[in-house]
């Protein structure tokens, strides 16, 4: 019996083709994907296509679209064995991270992919990404899905979605997972490293927690920055600071005073690193102790994309018990190292 995969097309470069008269890119009707890629009919799975009514550039993807995708998966969860989401590359890591927190009790593969070149381009990376993603989205052993989490497949690598970041707008190998090993790799043989796969609490029935708050602000610290600008910012629930190295910031009484004032206003402060690899370690250097003094929360080795979407999901979420700080520090779905 062939496994059934629901292919959800949201938009992005992968669904574009070039108009050779004008030279411009345009979206094609993704309902005709089997004509564009007849090799899909040779796959050992049945593919059903659900395109967005209006394909979106990934820069237009946000909480509303995340909820749409999550609820589409919920509505079709029992009908399909896996899900493949075609997505623009610029914000794919945000969507993958958000979905990883929203899809509770997930025991089926949810794979996201896209491409750097349109599917109709002679040198496109779209076909390989799409075909291999379908393989991972339909991979079962002994009637159990091998992948049971939200993942990104791109240029021969399968990565945990909430551990990824897009590091290149130029190369086909556009995504990295700097603080977690790859889940699988395709070559002559398609491989999976099962020791790296995530498994949820099997007692939880699959459901969607679509709570997403937009009352989160992200700010990158830079040398010479005037922190008094923070006093002009309206109060927000969570401020995420991307700081130097393993968690340092310029040390002065003014810095302490400003950050403490933000905390006194009821804002949670989360600290993540500007480094691609490694993470936050309060106390390693003297200039990180300020964050311990004001009760900031360490983002440890989370990506910025994951920290942002996790904060959006947790803040004021009635489905979580305990404090925001305690829940943020907890590993929910493999987004943070134990």
Q: Is 301 annotated as a binding residue?
A: no
Distance from C-alpha of 150 to C-alpha of 160, rounded to nearest angstrom = 7
Q: What are phi and psi of 131, to 5 degrees?
A: -65, -45
The closest alpha carbon to 328, from 299, 304, 303, belongs to 299
What is the Cα 128 distance to its own chain's centre? 21
22 catalytic per annotation: no
Q: Is 246 annotated as a binding residue?
A: no
79-114 burial: b if 16+ Cβ within 10 Å, else e:
ebbbbbbbbbbbbbbbbbbbbbbbbbebbbbbbbbb
Distance from C-alpha of 84 to C-alpha of 173, rounded to nearest angstrom = 19
At 16 the three-state DSSP class reads strand
Q: Where are the alpha helices (DSSP H) in 58-200?
A: 63-76, 92-102, 126-137
Q: Is 168 annotated as a binding residue?
A: no
For residue 24 the two structure tokens come to 């411009």
107 catalytic per annotation: no
Q: Among residues 10, 22, 89, 107, which one is catalytic?
A: 89
Q: Among residues 13, 248, 267, 303, which one is catalytic?
A: 13
The residues with which 186 forms a beta bridge, in sequence order, are: 190
Sorted by sequence, the CB contacts under 8 Å of residue 39 that are 6+ apart come out as 127, 131
* Active-site residue set: 13, 89
Residue ranges of the binding site for substrate: 58, 89-90
Residue ranges of the binding site: 58, 89-90
């Amino acid at each position: 019996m062939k496994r059934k995969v629901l292919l959800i097309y949201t938009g992005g470069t992968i669904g574009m083709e070039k108009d050779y008269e004008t030279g411009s890119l345009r979206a094609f009707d993704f309902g005709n994907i089997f004509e564009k890629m007849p090799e899909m009919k040779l796959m050992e799975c049945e593919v059903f296509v659900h395109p967005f009514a209006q394909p979106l550039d990934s820069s237009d993807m946000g909480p509303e679209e995340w909820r749409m995708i999550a609820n589409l998966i919920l509505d079709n969860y029992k009908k399909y064995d896996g899900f493949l989401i075609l997505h623009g590359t610029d914000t794919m890591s945000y969507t993958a991270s958000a979905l990883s927190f929203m899809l509770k009790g997930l025991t089926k593969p949810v794979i996201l992919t896209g491409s750097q070149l349109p599917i109709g381009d002679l040198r496109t990376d779209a076909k390989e990404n799409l075909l291999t993603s379908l393989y991972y989205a339909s991979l079962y052993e002994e009637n159990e899905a091998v992948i049971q989490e939200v993942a990104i497949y791109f240029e021969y690598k399968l990565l945990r979605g909430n551990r990824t970041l897009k590091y290149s707008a130029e190369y086909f190998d556009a995504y990295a997972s700097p603080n977690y090993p790859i889940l699988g790799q395709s070559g002559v043989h398609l491989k999976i490293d099962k020791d790296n796969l995530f498994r949820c609490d099997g007692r939880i029935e699959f459901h969607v927690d679509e709570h997403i708050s937009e009352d989160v602000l992200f700010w990158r610290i830079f040398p010479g920055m005037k922190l008094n600008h923070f006093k002009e910012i309206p109060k927000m629930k969570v401020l995420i600071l991307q700081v130097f190295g393993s968690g340092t910031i310029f040390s002065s009484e003014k810095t302490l005073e400003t950050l403490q004032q933000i905390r006194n206003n009821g804002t949670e402060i989360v600290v993540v690193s500007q480094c691609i690899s490694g993470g936050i370690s309060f106390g390693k250097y003297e200039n990180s102790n300020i964050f311990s003094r004001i009760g900031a929360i360490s983002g440890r080795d989370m990506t910025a994309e994951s920290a942002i979407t996790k904060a959006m999901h947790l803040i004021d979420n009635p489905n979580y018990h305990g404090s925001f700080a305690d829940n943020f520090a907890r590993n929910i779905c493999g987004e943070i190292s134990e």
